[in-house]
Amino acid sequence: MSHESLPHFLAKVDLFAGLSKDTLSELVTRGTTLAIQPGAHATEQGSDDAGLQVVLEGSAEVSVNGVDRAPLGPGDSFGEISLVDGLPRSATVVAGPDGLTTFALSSLAFMEVVRANPDVAEALLKGLAARVRLLESQG
């Protein structure tokens, strides 16, 4: 995915929906694109590497305490919880058979954008609330 098309892609992701083009462009300039080989860990439960990743291409398997969760695909994200609370990762994410390409944003870069654009924090809170409601409904 080209650098120029990233803001357009991110605008369709629930977590960033409703953000201005300027804010999305700023997020893109502060982040990076990562290519993760098939079967490689994008992140591991308990690790201290805070940061948000949005799946651009490919898929990923997710497990929490060894229990499989719903897989991730384009437009899905992971790392929101560690991004906010700074605690270790709550899940292990492993790239699927075709690998995984993500847009990654460190907690430091994210907080700089939040301080300048409070609407980013609001979007993140809404995204986290939606995830909590989904988990509660799955009971």
What residue spans define the domains of the chain? Answer: 6-138
Q: What is the mean pLDDT of residues 113-139?
A: 78
CA dihedral 28, 31, 12, 16 (to 10 degrees): -100
3 φ, ψ to 5°? -60, -35
Q: For 36-85, how does the pLDDT look when each residue is reduced to its tens digit (9 = 90+)? A: 999 999 999 999 887 899 999 999 999 999 999 999 999 999 988 787 78
3-state secondary structure 64-117: ECCEEEEEECCCCEECHHHHHHCCCCCCEEEEEEEEEEEEEEEHHHHHHHHHHC
pTM above 0.95, yes or no: no
CATH class of 6-138: mainly beta
Given this model, what pLDDT does residue 118 score?
Answer: 81
Q: Which of 31-35, 74-78, 85-89 is least confident?
A: 85-89
Which is higher by pLDDT, 123 or 102? 102
Given this model, what pLDDT does residue 139 score?
Answer: 61
Q: What is the mean pLDDT of residues 106-131?
A: 81
Tokens of residue 23, six digits? 């804010």
Which is higher by pLDDT, 135 or 96? 96
